[in-house]
Amino acid sequence: MGEERVIHGCMGLGGSWDDTPYGAADIAEAEAAVEAALDSGITAFDHADIYRNGKAEAVFGEVLARTPGLRQRVVLQTKCGIRLPDGERPGLYDLRGDTILRRVAASLDRLRTDYVDLLLLHRPDPLADPEDVARALTSLHRQKLVRAFGVSNMSGHQIASLQAYLDFPLVVDQLEMSLHRRDWVEAGVLVNTPQAASVGFPAGTLEHCRANGIRLQAWGALAQGRFTGREETPTERATARLVTALAGSKGTTPETILLWWLQRHPARIVPVVGSARPERIRACADAARREPGLSHEEWYELWVTARGAALP
């Protein structure tokens, strides 16, 4: 993995979330999204085997097959570990070693590539045996099917537990982080306050990742549009006004301001932008190409406005 500033999240590609086959329009949508990302300086793409029941990977594979040389220009990551509900079968998490190997093989087929640059374990599986998981990851690494590994939605303690069984480092933790989902930063300042009990973010995760060279990726980085067009509360509207004002004063877009807020944090956060709309992707170009243009005071002003209350 390189030093990507922004990643394009591909969950929106591939059509519906059922077994309806994808078609030409879905492939064209994927091509347009990839083109917009590349035009914006975004060369890393985030997948998961479950996205659109596998069709997100499949349409991306179609784009790779149609564009000679594209695979060498991009960084591909995918995730495994979730089984979606199917009929009467409930959804569950599955990080058994054999399942990991089988799911990665299917992802490689859909993506039409011989390897992925990064594999993330999508969510913690309470029944996972870390030795069994480590054997599967080691096999994928030795076969050169996966170049690097990480996790998603895991705490620092969970990462450390798995790392103890691996001879190579886990390099990424992907978490929901945004100006709306702020518990990752709130947890660090509500220590020794009555409000601390209301924050569920696992203490020490940011510190563990930074101390061990683990990149943090932020899914949901644009807060589902809460500050760029679909404000629903007075606090969200006030925050959107501030985001718009800062964008105007800095000659950029509101989307970039939201991503800069994440990137400005010293935890080395890489936002994942999950929109399939080319105009929304291109609105993030400054975050991919420029250093975050927020001062210390502006970063705090955004945080305090979004939280709707003064700091403790």
Catalytic residues: 51
CA distances from 79 to 119, 167, 242 (A): 6, 20, 35
Residues 197 and 185: beta-carbon distance below 8 Å: no
Q: What φ, ψ does residue 220 adopt, rounded to 5°?
A: 70, 25
Q: Return the bridge partners of 119, or none.
A: 78, 149
| Residue 253 per-residue DSSP state | -
User: Rounded distance, CA 282 to CA 41, Å?
Assistant: 9
User: Rounded distance, CA 95 to CA 151, Å?
Assistant: 11
Residue owning tokens 């975004």: 42
Task: Name the maximum alpha-carbon separation found in the chain.
Answer: 58
